[in-house]
Structure 1
Amino acid sequence: MIGTGLRFGYGTNGFANHRLEDALTIIAELGYEGVALTLDHHHLDPFAADLPARVARVAKRLAELRLGVVIETGARYLLNPRHKHAPTLLDDDSDARLDFLKRAIDIAADLNAEAMSFWAGVRPPHVSPDEAWQRLVRGCAQVAAHADNAGVPLGFEPEPGMLVENFEQWDRLRGEVGETLRLTLDIGHCRANELEEVAECVRRAGPHLVNVQIDDMRRGVHEHLEFGAGEIDFPPVLHSLAQTGYTGLVAVELPRHSHAAPDVAARSLNFLRVSQWLGEARAAGEGNLATELAAAGRKVGRANAEMARIRLLQSFQLSPQQVSDLYRYGDNEEKRAILRACPVPDLLRDALRSNDSRLVAAALGPAAAQLTDAEWRQAVLKAVFMGLQLAQVHGLNERADAELGRMLDGLRKEREAAGRIMPADAISLLERLR
C-alpha cells in the first residue's frame, strides 16, 4: 500500500502455539512481506535428525508465499532445558552456543535469508568484565568467519542487560571483530520517551542495519503495537528509518502474544501501515493536508482511513479557517474525520443539516458539547428520525431534559398516526424523561 521501501514482517516467536507451516501461511495472508524465523524446538529445530529435509520444505514454502526471511537465534531453552538462553558466548562452555550459531548461519544460507541475528548474553558473575569481553570477541570472530564463507549477513543485536547493550558498545565490538558484524536494532530497546531520541537512535543505526525488530515499550516491558499503548511515537520513527534507505525487514517481535497471534498480527500490520503513512504525511506539512487526507483510503485501506485522518489532523495546530477549507473541499469521509478531529461549530451545524447519517453521528460525538441546548435537542431528534442508535450521542444522559422528552413525545405521536413505531432506544429515553 505504501511504497517507501519499508517491508514489514512478523516474528515466528509470536506464533509459538502454531505449526510453522500454519504460521507462515497466516503471516503471508495478512499481507506481511517476510518473517523473522526463530530457530526452536517447535518450529525449525536446528538439531533435528532430518534437518536438511525440513529446511528444504521451509525454503519451498517461503518461496511459494513470497516471504523474505531473517534468522533469529533467541530461543529461550533450546540449548539448555533448565537455564534460559544458556550457554552464551560468555560462558565457560560456550562451544554449544558457537555450534548453534554456525548451524543458524548454514540454515540462513540454505533459506537465502537476508540476515542471521544474535546477541552477546549476560556476563556470568564469576567471569570478569575483561575476560567476558575477550570471550565475546573470540566467539564473534569465529561466527563472522563462518558467515563470510557462507555469504550470510550478520546482525548483532545490542540488548539491555547484556554485555553489549547499546550502540557504542556494538561499535567497539565491530572495531575488534570486523566489518562483517552489522547491526540488528530492536526499536523498542531505544527505550526513550522523547520522540527525538528514538528517531535519532534509528538515524544513527541506519547505515549499519541488516535487521530491524519492532515493538513498543511501557515501563521497560515489551508492548504490542497500538496507538497509546506504549511510549514510542512510531510515525516519525518509521519515517526516519525509511529516510536512512534501509530496505530490509522490519519484523514485529511480540513473543508474549502467541495466545492471540492471528489477531495481534493483523492489528500490528494495520498499525504499521497507518504509522508509516502518518510519518510521511506529517513530514509533508500542512500545505499538503488536503492531498494526504484524500489519499488516506488508498494508502492505508478504507477500514483504517478515518482513524489515520483523525490522527493526522490532530498533528497540526490548524486555524478554524484552515479546518473550514479542508471540510468544504473534502468528501464525506474526509468531513467525518474533520468533525471528529477538530470540529468547528459552523461545521457541526452544516453536518446536522445533511442527510448523511455518518456525518450526523460524527456531529453528535464529543464535539456536540459546542452546540446550544436547542441545537442539540434538534440534533437528537434528527438522529431518532434517521434511525441512528442513541448510544452514539455524546452526553445523552447528562443533557437530556424535559423539553427533549416533549419533542420526542410529539415525534412518537406523529409516527403512531402514520402507522410507524419509534426505535426502542428512543422509547426508553422518552419513558425516562417523563
Structure 2
Amino acid sequence: MSLRFGYGTNGFANHRLADALDVIAELGYTGVALTLDHAHVDPYAIDVKDQVARTARLLAERELAVVVETGARYLLDPRRKHAPTFLHEDAPRRVDFLKRAVDIAAELNAEAVSFWAGVRPAHVSADVAWQLLAEGCAEVVAYAAERGVAPGFEPEPGMLVETLADWQRLRDLVGEQLKLTLDIGHCCANEPVGVEECVRIAGPHLVNVQIDDMRRGVHEHLEFGTGEIDFPPVLRALADTGYTGLVAVELPRHSHAAPEVAARSLTFLRAAQWLGDALDKIARDPAAIATLLPAARRGVGRAAAEDARVRLLHAAAPGADAAAELYRYGDNDEKRAVLLACPAPDLVRDALRSNDTRLVAAALGPGARDLPAAEWRQGVLKSVFMGLPLSGVDGLAERADTELGRMLAALRHEREAAGRTMPADAVELLERLH
C-alpha cells in the first residue's frame, strides 16, 4: 500500500500560502499539514472566513488533502512561546483557539486537527496539571465530535504528555474519542522502544502522522538521512498498520530553503518506501532478490541505488551459487553490489581481471581478504595503474610488504621512463615500504 506524503506549511514560513501550496503540489505531494498562524490562515483575523474559503479553493484546485496543525509559536501571546497552554491560568484562551481550529478544519474538510499539552509551569503540580489537561482536552474533543473533526493529540518531548504511554493515560481520562498524532522523529528522540515498535503500538489510534529525522535524546527536526532513523522498515511498519491518512514532513526550521528541502524529502521518502517494501518481499521470499536487484535504480534513484542493492543482498543472504548467478547475469552495477555484499574469491578474481574501475575498487574491499598474497599484490598494483585511491584497499596497512614495495618501485621506474608520474598515495606507500 502506498503511503500519502504531505508537507507542513510551517516549513514554508517565508512563502505566501498560495505559493507554498503551488510548490508542494508541483513536487508531487498529495497533502499539506496547515499550521494556523499569522501568515497562513490567521484564526483571529477579521477576514478569517474569507481566508478559509480561499484556502479551501486553493486546496481543491491543487487536489491537496489537509490536516490542521496548531503549534504556532507566538500566535496567542507575542511574548511567550506557545502560551497559554491547557496548563496555564488563562487556559480558556487555548481552548478557544483549538475550537477555532476545529471550525477551520471542518470548513476545509480536514482529515484531522492536531494539538498538544504544553510544558508544565513550575508552580503547577503534576496532579493539577493532569487535571487541567484532561478537562481542557475533554472540552475540545467534545467540540470536535460535534463538528465531525478527528482530534489528534500529539505527544511532544518536554511537554506534560511526551510519550505514547502518557497519551494513553490522557486517553483513559478523556475517552476513546481522543485520537493520536504521531511524530516519527519523536519516537527516536524519547520513546523507550524502537521506532518500528512505536508505529505498531500507535497504529490503531492514528489520525495524523508527522515525519522527520532525529537523534536519540535530542528534540531537533532534521532532514532525512542526517539523523538516526532507519526509515525503510519504519514506513513498511506504518503501511502494515493500515493507516491511510497523511504522512506530512515537519521541518519547521528549514523555511530558508523550503523548495529544495521539500524536493529532497519526497525523493527520500519514495525511495525509503520502495526499499521497505522490497525488504519485506525478501523477508518472505529471499529468491525475490533476482528481480529486485535489477529494479533498485528505478525504485530508489541513481544516488541511493548502490546502498539499496547492498542492503537487499544482505537481507537475502544468497548462498555461493546464488550469488555467483546474480553476479554472472547482472550488469556492472549489480556485479559491484555483489562484490560489496557477498564476495567470494572467484568473483573477486573475475572483477580484478576486468577493466571497470568500479569493479576493481569493489574487489579490493573486504572481499579481497581471502586472496593469496601474490594475487592481492597484483590487485593493488592494478589499482595503482588505473589511478584508483589506495584508501579503498581493505587491509592495506597490514598486508603491504617489501614484495609489494618492489613491484611498486618497478612500476614507478616504468612510468618515469615514459614521462609519467605515480599517484601521490602510491608514492607515499612506496616510501613507507623502502
Q: TM-score, normalised by structure 2?
A: 0.82
Q: Identify which of 156, 159, 165 aligns with 1:159.
A: 156
Call closer, same or farther: CA 1:224–1:283 in 2, change over 3 Å: same
Corresponding residue number in structure 2 for 1:325: 325
1:22-421 to 2 correspondence within 5 Å? 22-191=19-188, 197-221=194-218, 222-227=220-225, 229-230=227-228, 232-284=229-281, 285=283, 286-315=286-315, 317-364=317-364, 367=367, 375=375, 379=379, 390-391=388-389, 394-395=392-393, 401=405, 403-407=407-411, 410=414
- Deviation of 1:322 after TM superposition, in Å, equals 4.0
| Offset of residue 392 of structure 1 | 7.8
Q: In structure 2, how many angstroms separate the alpha carbons of the residues matched to 1:191 and 1:428?
A: 44
Other structure's SS at 1:185 match: strand
85-94 vs 250-259, which moves further: 250-259
1:87 to partner: Cα distance = 0.2
Deviations 1:306-362 (A, max 9, x none): 221122223455544443233233333222222233333322222233354543443
**1: CA distance between counterparts of 2:333 and 2:210?**
34
Q: Deviations over 1:378-417 (max 9, x none)?
A: 55676687xx65348624996684523533654686xx7x
Identical-pair percentage: 63
Amino acid at match of 1:312: L
Contact 1:365 1:392 (8 Å CA) reproduced:
no
Paired AA for residue 10 in structure 2: N
- Describe the SS at the equivalent of 1:210: strand
Show structure 2 runs of 5+ residues with no match.
Answer: none
CA contact (8 A) 2:155 2:162 kept: yes
Give the TM-score, by structure 1 length. 0.82
CA distance in 2: counterparts of 1:429 and 1:239, whole angstroms: 44
Judged with a 3 Å threshold, the aligned counterparts in structure 2 of structure 1 residues 78 and 229 are, in CA distance, closer, same or farther, namely same
Distance 1:375 1:406 in 2: 17
Distance 1:18 1:30 in 2: 15
Distance in structure 2 (CA, Å) of the matches to 1:394 and 1:379:
12
Shift of 1:209: 0.4
Cα distance in 2 between the residues matched to 1:219 and 1:393: 32
- Relative contact order (alpha carbons < 8 A, sep ≥ 6): 1 or 2 greater? 1
Contact 1:365–1:393 (CA under 8 A) maintained in structure 2? no
Q: Taking structure 1 as reference, are residues 51 and 158 closer, same or farther at Cα in structure 2, changes over 3 Å only?
A: same
Deviations 1:237-257 (A, max 9, x none): 222211110011112222233
Deviation at 1:189, TM superposition (A): 2.3
Q: Out of 241-250 and 67-76, give the one that drifted further.
A: 67-76
1:165 is displaced (CA, Å) by 2.7
- 61-70 or 393-402: which moved more? 393-402
Measure the CA separation in 2 of the matches of 1:58 and 1:344. Answer: 60
Distance change >3 Å, CA 320–CA 341, structure 1 → 2: same
Runs (5+) with no aligned partner, structure 1: none
* Alpha carbons of structure 1 residues 430 and 117: separation in structure 2 relative to 1, 3 Å: closer
| 1:52–1:223 distance in 2 versus 1, CA, 3 Å | closer
- Please give the secondary structure, in 1, of the residue aligned with 2:247: strand
Q: What is the CA–CA distance in structure 2 between the aligned matches of 1:352 and 1:226, rounded to whole Å?
A: 36
- Supply the distance in 2 between the matched residues of 1:57 and 1:382 (Cα, whole angstroms): 66
Matched letter for residue 346 of structure 1: D
Separation in structure 2 between the aligned mates of residue 262 and residue 378 of structure 1, nearest angstrom: 49
SS across alignment from 1:75: coil
Aligned residues: 420
Q: What SS does the aligned partner of 2:392 have? A: coil
Give the C-alpha shift of residue 114 in structure 1: 1.4
Residues 1:66 and 1:128: Cα distance change in structure 2 (over 3 Å): same
Q: Provide the rounded CA distance (Å) in 2 between the counterparts of 1:288 and 1:177.
A: 47
Q: Distance in 1 between matches of 2:192 and 2:239?
A: 16
2:5 is aligned to 8
User: 1:5·1:246 contact (CA, 8 Å) conserved in 2?
Assistant: no
Distance in structure 2 (CA, Å) of the matches to 1:382 and 1:65: 56
Using the alignment, how far apart are the partners of 2:210 and 2:336 within structure 1?
35
